[in-house]
Structure 1
Amino acid sequence: MSEQTTGTTQADAAEQLGWLAAALARAPIAEDELCARVAPAFLDASGGPAGFNAVAAAMGPLVVTSPVSARPDRAQARVRGDGGEHLLTVRIDPSGRIDDVAMTAEQAAPASWAELDDDLAALPGRVSFAAAEITPQDCRIVHGRGPDTLRPIGSGFKLYVLGALGLAVAEGRASWNERLAIREDAKSLPASGILLGRPAGDRLTLAEYADAMMSVSDNTATDHLIRRLGREAVSRQFELFGHQRPAVNAPLLTTRAFFQLKYVPAYAHRYRSAPAPERATVIEEMERLPLPDTSQPWTEPRDIDRIEWFASPADICRALCGLLRLDQPEIGRALSHTEGGLNLDVSRFPTVWSKPGSEPGVLTLNHLARAADGRALATSLMVSDPDTALDLATVVARGQAVTRAAFHLLTRQP
């Protein structure tokens, strides 16, 4: 392989984008070439060489028509293929290998919020949405559909865990460089989690736990941070970030307890039947149990309105505002590992944060973007159905399109 695997310069990401566009024309790409060009974790997540080549075949040959940007770790260009004009983004890791690819069709921005409302109305299930501008004083909702309606948010609650960590650092109660040992009794599902397979006793910095929690929504990382910070500190963060009803998330579920309650109906019944003051005890008992048997697929909604974490789109916008005001580089890094599929034009939106959340019947897409004029903008889309599982791939794609459109409309606001 070329020298681009040993460092990251501005040319590296651009060169990798050029390689990918050219390689698509001769797919399938040889396995040794893929292993040299693509980061192992991203290749595995793509389904290995066979999975990557299946996606490559679907993308088809591409011709780069115009570069958009080239950063040390990311390049973006407009490309043309059989499907028309697209925006292609390639990100590389510190070794110079590709660790993320995004491609979205170039489409005209919506003319109005009314057009966006039509797209929201076409989504399945219950839908709430907020688009906001973050000012030094507040988080101003510019447009919404039930923006104050509480919904289950899945891993969106990790924004509050990250906030509690940032506050602890700001107050001197923690440090991003502090090392924390992995504990067997704080591990959580799913099996694909980065830290689940790490041996107990391995020590990672709190910044590394935060990166894992946000970049791949690692639940083991999340529960370790909750233990380190304290359940009450994380619960208090809902109030500090302006959540309209913080009590709905008390007592705070860890993800380990969450999975016990979802996989074992008897545990869920016990939790639902317990008086509110006793639910904390039930949660603590769930956390002490071995991880549940996952051999029986969990594909349909289970108690999404009773056993979950809850917020409204406006609450999430305020949480993103709170994280921005903490003004800590580690927070921005943790939230910007991925753009959540938005693939916004970097020249218009140089910074994008993302934190989605999902379980069967639940999807939430939460983003903050810094526009080229310096304004901070936020969106939160929540879709849920207590009875029927969402077609997640379809709803995610349509939700990303709505969110992308909302950011373009927000930039038109005075």
Structure 2
Amino acid sequence: MQDVAGSPPSSAHPSDRAHQAHSSGQAHSSGQARAALATDRSPLGEASRWAVDLLTAPAPPAEDAVAARFVPPTPGRTPGDFLVRLREWREQGPFTVEEYEPVAHKAWIVLAGAGGARHTLSLTLDSTGLVRLFTLRPETVIPYVGSWAEVEDALRTPGIRHSVLAARLAPAKPDSPAGPAGPEILHESAAGLSMPTGSAYKLFLLRALLGAVEEGRVSWDDEVVVRPESRSLPTGDMQELPDGTRVSVRETATKMIAISDNTAADLIVELLGRRAVEDSLADAGHHDPALLRPFLTSREFFELGWGDPARLAEWARRDEAGRRALLREIDGPLTVGLSDLGETVHRTGLDWFMDAYDVLRVLDGLRRDSARDTTGTAERILTANPGLPVDRARWSRVYFKAGSSPGVMMYAWLFEDAGGEAWVLVLRQSADEQKTIGDGLFLRGIGRRIAESGLLSAVTR
């Protein structure tokens, strides 16, 4: 699940070498960054200016002013706790804005502090414009990469398994009875290895939903109902809606992808039925659907992973039928909170497992689904959050999905150029300890470097 455990402290990375490193932000001058921040009239831009002001204003804000801007409960659980942390951060100033990178509902602002030390302010808004995440940490340094060998070198880290897949998607050939040709692989490492991928499962869930809509079994205007039994943990904000709130399938699916809303995803599973989702997995492109059976909801994942330890041990021991019985035992409102999350659980077999080619196939399938959707709803859902700043002169369309859980990080993109040619990039990491893998900014930064480098389009024709 993206951001599901908050943002744990980043660990040092061997790629943070002065001779090859550069910041993860835009290649604009600090003056351009300050101008971009000052003129961004979006809700994210306004919130970003407010966040910078908290660190640079002559005096810290009043507690009630902070409480009004944050999703309750605020970071640190109370406004007072946040203000204590804010005072510590302000002592590292005075700060100047060096880089500003807004993407969908998130912003990353690089600040230069005392002695030239650089920090990254990370800001995440919920769908109402309130601040859900506000952190200040030492800047995550991302090396430039000009070759796939340099990508591999950047990702090679003791204690972390990684996987890379980059491919050009062949266009469909209607006159060929064999159907579309296979993808042209630019680079792969451990791409065929099944790994935990967190919220990547939502791509398969979206394909199942699009199939149901196309067949007329579900309408975008149908509604789901929020109940205590359907509430999960963030990311997302649907878990905060009152009991009985009715939300359209369109809005629910949009939140599931655009802000990786876990409660939204669980409501879609409930709408379609677990068995129907499982029956769709092979057609959606998963090479071994048994790896996703039983198909977990996020609530079940949290309850099993960080609830009663005996149940987690049982999950590791049981076969599919036994696991289904275990899920029936935990049917009910969630009993764990974000503060309970900690140790990794994917080693017990608890996560959503797939290989990188599965991710490629489901993204390619969604692209084809979108082309058939005359309402344009699928396309709006898939392009709502590109995951990085998009150079529209290079990429006319970008699909994006990230996934995380303790010890798991994944980023996947589908890029399409103006000529209709498409490329997929899948980056995955897993580690036995969450602290080893950090908060994902490094892996995302490598993805951005690849997208900007020209490596994706450098294919032998």
Match of 1:315 among 338, 358, 363: 358
Cα pair 1:152 1:305 within 8 Å, conserved:
no
Cα pair 1:365 1:381 within 8 Å, conserved:
yes
User: What does residue range 213-362 of structure 1 map to in structure 2 within 5 Å?
Assistant: 213-262=256-305, 263-286=307-330, 288-294=331-337, 297-327=340-370, 328=373, 329-340=376-387, 342-362=388-408
- The structural deviation recorded for 1:177 is 1.7
CA 1:46–1:156 in 2, change beyond 3 Å: closer, same or farther? farther
- The structural deviation recorded for 1:344 is 4.2
User: What does residue range 102-113 of structure 1 map to in structure 2 within 5 Å?
Assistant: 110-113=145-148
Match of 1:194 among 209, 212, 237: 237
Residue 379 (structure 1) aligned with residue 425 (structure 2): yes
Match of 1:4 in 2: none
CA 1:257–1:145 in 2, change beyond 3 Å: closer, same or farther? same
Cα pair 1:133 1:139 within 8 Å, conserved:
yes
Q: Look up the SS of the partner of 2:168 in the other structure.
A: strand
Cα pair 1:344 1:404 within 8 Å, conserved:
no
Cα pair 2:383 2:398 within 8 Å, conserved:
yes
Tell me, in whole angstroms, the C-alpha distance in 2 between the residues paired with 1:359 and 1:105. Answer: 20
Match of 2:412 among 349, 363, 366: 366
Q: Which stretches in structure 1 are left out of the alignment for 5+ residues? A: 1-9
Match of 2:3 in 1: none
CA 1:156–1:305 in 2, change beyond 3 Å: closer, same or farther? farther
Match of 2:7 in 1: none
Residue 170 (structure 1) aligned with residue 218 (structure 2): no
TM-score, normalising length from structure 1?
Answer: 0.76
Tell me, in whole angstroms, the C-alpha distance in 2 between the residues paired with 1:296 and 1:98. Answer: 19
CA 1:393–1:63 in 2, change beyond 3 Å: closer, same or farther? closer
Q: Look up the SS of the partner of 2:434 in the other structure.
A: coil
Q: Look up the SS of the partner of 2:238 in the other structure.
A: coil
Report how many residues are paired. Answer: 394
Tell me, in whole angstroms, the C-alpha distance in 2 between the residues paired with 1:136 and 1:194. Answer: 37
- The structural deviation recorded for 1:160 is 0.7
Match of 1:142 among 186, 192, 202: 186
Deviations 1:340-369 (A, max 9, x none): 3x3343443343332211121111112222
Match of 2:161 among 121, 126, 129: 126
Cα pair 1:189 1:220 within 8 Å, conserved:
yes
Cα pair 1:301 1:361 within 8 Å, conserved:
yes
**Aligned alpha-carbon RMSD (Å):** 4.6
Tell me, in whole angstroms, the C-alpha distance in 2 between the residues paired with 1:337 and 1:54. Answer: 35
- The structural deviation recorded for 1:244 is 1.3
After the TM superposition, which of the residue ranges 45-54 and 354-363 deviates more from structure 2? 45-54
Tell me, in whole angstroms, the C-alpha distance in 1 between the residues paired with 2:447 and 2:279. Answer: 29
Q: Look up the SS of the partner of 2:365 in the other structure.
A: helix
Deviations 1:171-191 (A, max 9, x none): 11111121222222222234x
CA 1:272–1:92 in 2, change beyond 3 Å: closer, same or farther? closer
CA 1:405–1:182 in 2, change beyond 3 Å: closer, same or farther? same
Tell me, in whole angstroms, the C-alpha distance in 1 between the residues paired with 2:125 and 2:253. Answer: 20
Match of 1:203 in 2: 246
Deviations 1:277-322 (A, max 9, x none): 3322222222x23422448733121243511111111111111111
Deviations 1:225-272 (A, max 9, x none): 001111122213321122111111112112222222112211122333
Tell me, in whole angstroms, the C-alpha distance in 2 between the residues paired with 1:96 and 1:290. Answer: 27
Q: Which amino acid aligns with 1:333?
A: R
Q: Which amino acid aligns with 1:334?
A: I
CA 1:105–1:300 in 2, change beyond 3 Å: closer, same or farther? closer
CA 1:371–1:107 in 2, change beyond 3 Å: closer, same or farther? farther
Match of 1:184 in 2: 228
Tell me, in whole angstroms, the C-alpha distance in 1 between the residues paired with 2:239 and 2:45. Answer: 31
